[in-house]
Amino acid sequence: MKRYSAFAIAREALRFHTGWERAWRTPEAKKHYDVVIVGAGGHGLATAYYLGKNHGITNVAIIEKGWLGGGNTGRNTTIIRSNYLQDESAAIYEKARSLYETLSQDLNYNIMFSPRGVMMLAQTEHEIRGYKRTEHANRLQGIETRFISPAAVKKLLPIIELSGPRFPVLGALWQPRGGTARHDAVAWGYARACSDMGMDILQKTEVTAIQQKAGQVTGVETTRGTITTGKLGIVVAGHSGQLADMAGFRLPIESVALQALVSEPIKPCMDVVVMANTVHGYMSQSDKGEMVIGGGADGFNNYTQRGSFHHIEETVRALIETFPIVSRLKMLRQWGGIVDMTGDRSPIISKTPLGNTFINCGWGTGGFKSIPGSGWAMAEMMAKGEPGELAAGFGLDRFREGRFIDESVAAGVAH
C-alpha cells in the first residue's frame, strides 16, 4: 500500500492522478479463515484492525451483507465524547476518544478528527446536580470535564438563547477534548489498513446460517458459499438479535430507529457540539456548513432506515427555543439508523454460549464515539479467548446476575 502524503499528492498531480491505488482490495472468499467477523461497520473493521496490529492475527475475513460502512457508521452524527458516569463506561469511551486523537496518523488516512468540545446543557436544577456528579466522577476517572456557567456557555456559543421561558440554560457540562470526526473516513481508513494487512473484506455477502459442532462454531454459510473458521465475531448493531438466533442464543436487546437531519449549508456560526437532553435535541455544524440535528430514538421497535415527519417536528420544535436560528433554516436531508438498545443503556462485549463465538453489540446510539475502544477490547477478547480489562464489565452474564452498568442518565438523549 502506498502511503498518503503531501509528496504523493504532488507526484500524482504530475501524473494527472492516474496512479492512485484502490483503497482496499475486492477479493474472492477463501474456504477458511482463522477469524470471521460479521459486520463491516466501524466496530467490525476496528476489531479486525486491532486483531492484526495488536495480536498479529491477519487471516481474517470481514463479511458485510451490504456495502462497507453503509449501516450505522454512515448514519450517525459523529459525536465523540467520554464524559460518562460509570467507571466501566468512562474507561472504554475515554480509550476510544484518546485513540481518535492519533487515528489519522495510525491509519495514514485523514479521519478529520476535530476536538472542538462537547457541552451538555443543564436546563433544570435536577440536571445541574446530575452533571456536577458526573464532573466529580470524571475527575476521579482522569477525564477532563467541568461544569460551566451560563455566561461561559454564551461565550463559547454566541447563537444560544439562555433565557428561554420553559427551559432556560443554567449551565453545562463541558468536555473540551470531545468533538467530531468524519464517519465514513473512519470506516475507509480502517478498511484500507485491514486490506493492507492481507485481510479480506467481503461486501455484498450475507450470512445465512452459523455452523456448529459439539457446542463450538465451525463456520458460516453465506451467499458466496460456506466459510469455515476457528473463531467468529458478531458485530452487526441493530441486527445482532438475528445473528444470535442463528447461533442458538438470545440477547437482551431491542432494535429501534434513531433519526437525524441536516440543514442547508450556512456560514460558520458554532464550533462546538451541543446536547440539550431535557428537550431531547442536539446540534453541531459540519465542515460543509450544515447544521447536524438529532434527537432521541424512536419509541417503538423497528428496522427502518428512513426518516419520518414526526421526528422533524419533535426535534426541531425542541431546539427552536434554545436556538432560534433553527426556525429559519431549510432541511437538506434526513436519515435513520437501526440501533440496538440494552436495558441499562450499556454495550455487550462478551463471549457467547456458542464456543469461540464472541459478540459486540448493544451500543445503542453511542456507537460511533466508541469505535476505536470497542475494536480494541473486542480484538483482545477474541485473540485471548477471555475479556480484558476494558471489556470485563460488559459481559452477557451481568443481566442474569444483576450487575447493571446504568448509563440511562449519562447517555442523556441516548448519545
CATH number for the domain including 91?
Answer: 3.50.50.60
Q: Which residue has the cell 445473528?
A: 243
Name the region of 353 (left: φ>0; alpha: ψ -120 to 50; beta: rest).
alpha
pLDDT attached to residue 372:
98
Is 167 a member of any domain?
yes
Beta bridge partners of 207: 222
Is 15 a member of any domain?
no
280 falls in which pLDDT band (50, 70, 90)? confident
Same domain? 164 vs 265: yes
Q: For residue 164, with 0-12 CB atoms within 10 Å meaning exposed, 13-18 middle and 19 or more buried, which class applies?
A: middle
pLDDT attached to residue 365:
85
Same domain? 332 vs 270: yes
Same domain? 100 vs 188: yes
- Of 193, 26, 42, the closest CA to residue 109 belongs to 193
Q: Which of 14-23, 100-109, 308-317, 394-403 is predicted least confidently? A: 308-317
Same domain? 265 vs 317: yes
Average pLDDT score over residue span 315-327? 91
Same domain? 391 vs 264: no
Q: Which of 257-261, 304-308, 339-343, 379-383 is predicted least confidently? A: 304-308
pLDDT attached to residue 409:
60
Same domain? 335 vs 259: yes
Same domain? 213 vs 122: no
For the cut 80, the answer to whether the pLDDT of residue 381 exceeds it is: yes
Is 5 a member of any domain?
no
Of 341, 365, 381, which residue sits at a domain end? Answer: 341
d(CA 291, CA 270): 9
What's the chain's Rg over C-alpha atoms?
21
For the cut 60, the answer to whether the pLDDT of residue 413 exceeds it is: no
For the cut 80, the answer to whether the pLDDT of residue 408 exceeds it is: no
Same domain? 268 vs 336: yes
For the cut 80, the answer to whether the pLDDT of residue 143 exceeds it is: yes
d(CA 3, CA 173): 40
**Residue 272: other Cβ atoms inside 10 A:** 21
Assess contact for 172 and 186: CB atoms under 8 A.
no
Report DSSP letters for 130-174, one per residue: HHHHHHHHHHHHT---EEE-HHHHHHH-TT--S--SSS---EEEE
pLDDT attached to residue 1:
79
Torsion of CA 336, 340, 341, 342, to 10 degrees: 180
pLDDT attached to residue 295:
86
3 state DSSP class of 243: helix
Is 10 a member of any domain?
no
Of 341, 361, 380, which residue sits at a domain end? Answer: 341
For the cut 90, the answer to whether the pLDDT of residue 40 exceeds it is: yes
Beta bridge partners of 121: 172
pLDDT attached to residue 298:
85
d(CA 120, CA 152): 13
Of 290, 309, 341, which residue sits at a domain end? Answer: 341
pLDDT attached to residue 309:
84
Same domain? 284 vs 140: yes
Same domain? 51 vs 64: yes
412 falls in which pLDDT band (50, 70, 90)? very low
Domain count, the chain: 2
Vertex 307 angle, CA 302 and 313, to 5°: 110
Q: Domain range holding 72? A: 28-82+84-109+183-253+344-401
pLDDT in tens, 212-251: 999 999 999 999 999 999 999 999 999 999 999 999 999 9
Beta bridge partners of 359: 234, 350
